């Protein structure tokens, strides 16, 4: 009964209530922003929330697509990374991995990605590289950087620009194979003087787990010196050398081949870690976007319901005032 009376009163007084309002007469001549201003704060707030919901939905679509792309790339690289582990392991058994050896010329080879949105793998590599650089620097020691990847370069150039010997970017723009990495490793060996190369990369374990790793490679001179002094490399003298090559030439070839194998494995492992970290980051972003969309939907519905309730109260109050 009350609603029927309200509808009758609304039809009765609709025409005189709308005619004196100048907003409808001016609406056609106003710009969209000016028109929103004339409609009141409630309309603007719901419009802002609606636009925000639309942008969050678009972001969620992008993050889901990036997660799928990272998953497909990870499947393609993971097999190469697992197969490359068998290349450097025999060298570790033969020449060892001696990070604590005392040398004068250190070169830190930092491997990172060219793109972001992959968690903290690049920051971790840079942090370890800075620690190694600081540890092996001194009055009688020299420490330099060889940087692979745009993200590590952008961070190291801020405070260590003069210590960067070689910087290589867009390494993973095209699919890599062992031949390309071996050519890159040969260029590094020709342009850098070193006693030890310390390769910093992220070793892939699973989609949500990677381990920062440092591989130490000694120069042929240091290997021969350590072998003569005994220690961990003293067993090299027990091997017989066939052919006309000397021991120094054999060690030179072994260290060059070892560096190319370690570089290939490090690049593949870091690429796997990058794609796995990107999958995790995009999955978290998609879930956060969904949670934000739920909160915005609740806010939008509450605002719209409050606006409708306020308008009904105003109509009832105006009808009551006219009838009274």
The pLDDT assigned to 250 comes to 80
Which residues in the chain belong to E strands, given as ranges? 105-111, 142-148, 164-168, 196-206, 209-218
pLDDT above 70 as % of the chain: 81
pLDDT in tens, 176-225: 889 999 999 999 999 999 999 999 999 999 888 899 999 998 888 888 77
pLDDT in tens, 115-174: 988 888 999 999 999 999 998 888 888 899 999 999 999 999 998 889 999 999 888 788
pLDDT in tens, 32-56: 444 444 444 444 578 888 999 999 9
CA distance 65 to 61: 6
CA nearest 125: which of 255, 265, 266? Answer: 266
Q: How many other C-beta atoms are found inside a 10 Å radius of the C-beta of residue 309?
A: 10
CATH 3.40.1380.10 fits 85-236+245-280, yes or no: yes
């Amino acid at each position: 009964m009350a609603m029927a009376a309200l509808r009758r009163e609304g039809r009765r007084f609709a025409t005189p209530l709308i005619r004196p309002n100048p907003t409808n007469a001016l609406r056609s001549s106003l710009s969209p922003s000016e028109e929103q201003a004339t409609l009141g704060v409630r309309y603007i707030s719901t419009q802002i929330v609606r636009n925000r919901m639309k942008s969050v939905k678009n972001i969620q679509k992008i993050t889901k697509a990036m997660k799928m792309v990272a998953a497909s790339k990870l499947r393609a690289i993971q097999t190469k990374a697992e197969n490359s582990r068998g290349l450097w392991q025999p060298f570790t058994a033969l020449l060892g991995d001696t990070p604590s050896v005392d040398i004068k010329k250190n070169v830190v080879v930092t491997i990172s990605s060219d793109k972001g949105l992959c968690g903290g793998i690049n920051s971790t590599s840079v942090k370890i590289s800075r620690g190694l650089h600081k540890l092996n620097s001194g009055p009688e020691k020299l420490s330099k950087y060889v940087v692979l990847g745009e993200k590590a370069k952008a961070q190291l150039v801020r405070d260590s620009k003069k210590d960067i010997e070689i910087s290589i970017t867009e390494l993973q723009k095209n699919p890599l194979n062992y031949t390309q990495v071996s050519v890159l490793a040969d260029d590094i060996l020709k342009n850098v003087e070193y006693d030890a190369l310390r390769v910093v990369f992220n070793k892939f374990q699973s989609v949500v787990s990677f381990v920062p790793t440092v591989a130490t490679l000694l120069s042929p001179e240091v290997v021969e010196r350590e072998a003569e002094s005994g220690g961990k490399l003293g067993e090299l003298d027990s091997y017989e050398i066939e052919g006309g090559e000397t021991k120094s030439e054999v060690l030179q070839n072994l260290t060059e081949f070892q560096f190319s194998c370690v570089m290939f494995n490090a690049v593949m492992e870091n690429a796997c870690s990058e794609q796995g970290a990107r999958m995790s980051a995009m999955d978290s972003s998609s879930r956060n976007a969904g949670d934000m969309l739920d909160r915005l939907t609740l806010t939008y519905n509450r605002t719209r319901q409050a606006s409708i309730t306020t308008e009904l109260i105003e109509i009832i109050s105006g009808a009551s005032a006219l009838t009274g």
